[in-house]
Amino acid sequence: MKNVYLDNNATTPVLPVVVDALLPFYQHAYGNPSSIHWAGREVKGAVDNARQQVADLINATPQEIVFNGCGSEGDNQALIGSYEMLKSNGNHIITTAVEHPAVLDTCRYLETKGACVTYLGVDSEGMLDLAELEAAITDQTILISVMWANNETGCLFPIGEIGRIARKHQIRFHCDAVQALGKVAIDVAECGVDLMVFSGHKIGAPKGVGALYVRDGIELESLIHGGHQEQGRRAGTLNVAGIVAFGKACAVAQQQFDDDVARMMVLRNRLQQGVLALPDVTLNGHKDNRLPNTLNVSFSFIEGEGLLLYMDMVGIAASSGSACTSGSDGPSHVLAAMGVAEAVLHSSVRFSLGPQTTQDDVDYVLEQLPPIVDKLREMSPMLEREFSSDCLVVECEIDPH
């Protein structure tokens, strides 16, 4: 049995070159970057370099990059910090029903503080109606928050067009780009975004480090107080090793972007072709307008959790959706918003590839998956119910009484 990791949208393995870059900051480069002596200056230079590397990947300036702990923190600061800064001008926020919980739960929190939130729906392919978005704008609208790439389906939203709508109406625009970084070309100078959120562990850096892009001139309340780090926007001693690692991962992503995206798309399409060749399997999300590494499918008559468990037994790691919603008893809010039928709402599986994924990995999945699907369908009470229902219909049709 081999181990195949296809859950890169949940987290990625730390790149070996990233490990090499961060180790000195756990060994001899131990200074606090806020200190003015030699030990602090040595470390501050590494932080400045990492800030430039992150900025280069998204065409920002280093001064627009605020380091933090994770994507969820960035979304919280973008939303809560904007609301606190702008609430005297209005209380209306527009977002979508398929956002990450870091956005949705924060919006629900803001509703308890007086915010009025519009949650835009999506169509059956997970796409937004931009006319509906623009029609939702009122004179009280202070913020639009739309993700770049959906973490479950990989569907991509037209961030540049949304940015133009936001600029036209002079509304602040926040984008959760955690899943997009390294897989989609991002140019903050072109797309009209005011705030954008990233997370290091999605692109080969360790967990516990992220970044918030804050366009020059945008005022934002802090979530964490107690120091003047990060231009007064995020108090606390900097996670130097994590920041250096994030910067290095961004530099690698920039250097290898074209090759990595092309490879992942070829392998994703190979996996997709094989999986969709199985009976009663449907694609969730747009067939083209999605991340190059993501495949979300539903297997009729099978519980998705059971399929994941059986795949795990043969060394295949995948997921049923966002890792941040594991433990939730409810179905995927993303698939529910897309109108996926109740019968297959609990049977979805997300495969998400990474730069380290090989053709052998994909072929191993395609070898192991069919017998697992067959076995689970033989055991499935869902299939028995479907068969019984069909039989009842036939009996009614032929019964002369």
Active site residues per annotation: 324
Say what the alpha-carbon torsion angle 337, 124, 263, 52 is, to the nearest 10 degrees.
-50
Distance CA 336, CA 316 (A): 26
**Exposure pattern of 205-224 as b/e (b: 16+ CB <10 Å)?**
bbebbbbbbbbeebebebbe
196: three-class secondary structure by DSSP:
strand
Distance CA 4, CA 185 (A): 27
* CA-closest candidate to residue 178, choices 204, 152, 157, 151: 151
Beta-strand runs (E) in 206-254: 210-214
Strand partners, 184: 181
Q: How many CA atoms lie within 13 A of 329 on its CB side?
A: 0
CB 340 within 8 A of CB 300: no
Both structure tokens of 53: 């590397």
Distance CA 280, CA 239 (A): 48
Provide CB contacts within 8 A for 222, sequence distance 6+.
77, 81, 232, 233, 234, 235
